[in-house]
Amino acid sequence: MIDGGEAIRKLALNVARYTGLAPLARPFVGGIGAILMLHRVTATPEKPDSVNRHLNIAPSFLDAVIADMKAGGYAFVSMDEAVERIKAGGKGGRFATITADDAYRDNMTEALPVLEKHGAPLTIYVAPGLIDGSAHLWWDVVEDIVKACDRLSLATSNGPAVIDCATPARKHQAIARLHAYFTTEVREEDLRTVLRGLAASHGVDADAPRLRTLMTWDEIRAVAAHPLVTIGAHTINHSNLKRLSEADARREIGAVKDMLRTGLGEEPSHFAYPYGYASAVGCREVGFARDAGYASAVTTRHGVLRAEHAGFLHALPRISVNGRYQSLAHIRTMLSGVTTPLANAGKMLVTV
Ligand SMILES: [Zn+2]
């Protein structure tokens, strides 16, 4: 979470799809492979009309995507092998690796059976704070708060701001306002306290979303033992690293390794930047991930992999498999590479 560039990617998808550009463009913009990005995979989402529904796909769609990509010549490999293949400039054929952020329980219960069927490896990026409760799935909590009330009051630098949440349209606006509030106005260090205060004052349980949807440590240990699964790191507290001091950002990237080694018995060698968009990760953070000794680090920037990524293993783009557009045509268009420059101001090599 959270997926940036939604609007531009939608535009890019439609432009490409409606002009039939994708198949023609493939030889010019197609890459050596792709890293697919998932969050939730469930046939029975608790909130099907949620503003966060782009984060969920049905297991049947995952099945269809993998089958379609295999038919199109993709080999599904682990993140370790993906890194080796990037280093080798893509020799060995077109490849894909699947990643899932935040450690949702349905990754184990609903995605893994599909992956077993196809022998497709999965990397799950874990933020221990989300599991322990020192961090929250705040975007879900925000939705619960807005749903629970007709109006709410925010403490801002200009004094209290009253937000109307009485109608569906107002609730939609209120959610957008709260996203801006928590990502730009509240200090990253204060997010948990402010969120819990706002939830409590509206009778909302801030712990409910993580307890309902994320794996426990026992479940993570169980899934980590599966031969298809790699556990990667996602910072300690799912932090927006760009908003932290150097010392705090390095600690979030580095100390999470020790926490995961303690919890799971093995140190992670792959990393995903929380949020992953431009206002959460830049050159500074990429340097920190490299310094911490990870073999790879992924963003949520949109793009296919190119041979040149061998020089940018800590700034790898991904292809988000978006719950709002569960169509094979969208996936094929994105994998053709045609949307990569469209979503990145003309750049074909996407880093940060
Ligand atoms: Zn995340």
Quote the mean pLDDT of the chain: 93
Question: Does the pLDDT value for residue 231 go beyond 90?
Answer: yes
Confidence grade of residue 15 (pLDDT, cut at 50, 70, 90): low
Which amino acid is it at 247?
A: A
- What is the model's pLDDT at position 13? 65
Q: Look up the pTM and report it.
A: 0.94
Question: Does the pLDDT value for residue 12 go beyond 80?
Answer: no
Separation in Å, CA 242 to CA 46, 179, 201, 238, 341: 32, 17, 30, 12, 25
The length of the chain in residues reads 352
Give the three-class secondary structure for 89: coil
> Cα dihedral angle (210, 235, 262, 133), rounded to 10 degrees?
-30
Better-predicted residue by pLDDT, 44 or 22: 44
Which amino acid is it at 250?
A: R
**Neighbouring residues of the ion ligand 1, judged by CB less than 5 Å:** 1, 101-102, 274
Buried b (16+ CB within 10 A) or exposed e, 149-180: beebebeeeeeeeebebeeeebbeebbebbee
338 Cα to the center of ligand 1, angstroms: 26
209 Cα to the center of ligand 1, angstroms: 14
19 Cα to the center of ligand 1, angstroms: 33
234 Cα to the center of ligand 1, angstroms: 7
Give the C-alpha separation, 46 to 42, whole Å: 9
322 Cα to the center of ligand 1, angstroms: 15
Q: Where are the beta strands (DSSP E) in 217-348?
A: 229-233, 270-272, 296-302, 316-320
Confidence grade of residue 324 (pLDDT, cut at 50, 70, 90): confident
21 Cα to the center of ligand 1, angstroms: 32
Helix H or strand E segment including 131: helix 128-132
217 Cα to the center of ligand 1, angstroms: 17
- What is the model's pLDDT at position 107? 98
70, with CB counted inside 10 A (0-12, 13-18, 19+), is middle
24 Cα to the center of ligand 1, angstroms: 34
Better-predicted residue by pLDDT, 58 or 52: 58
Question: Does the pLDDT value for residue 28 go beyond 80?
Answer: no
User: Which tens digit of pLDDT belongs to each residue from 255-310?
Assistant: 999 999 999 999 999 999 999 999 999 999 999 999 999 999 999 999 999 999 99
125 Cα to the center of ligand 1, angstroms: 8
Give the C-alpha separation, 253 to 259, whole Å: 11
Helix H or strand E segment including 99: strand 95-101
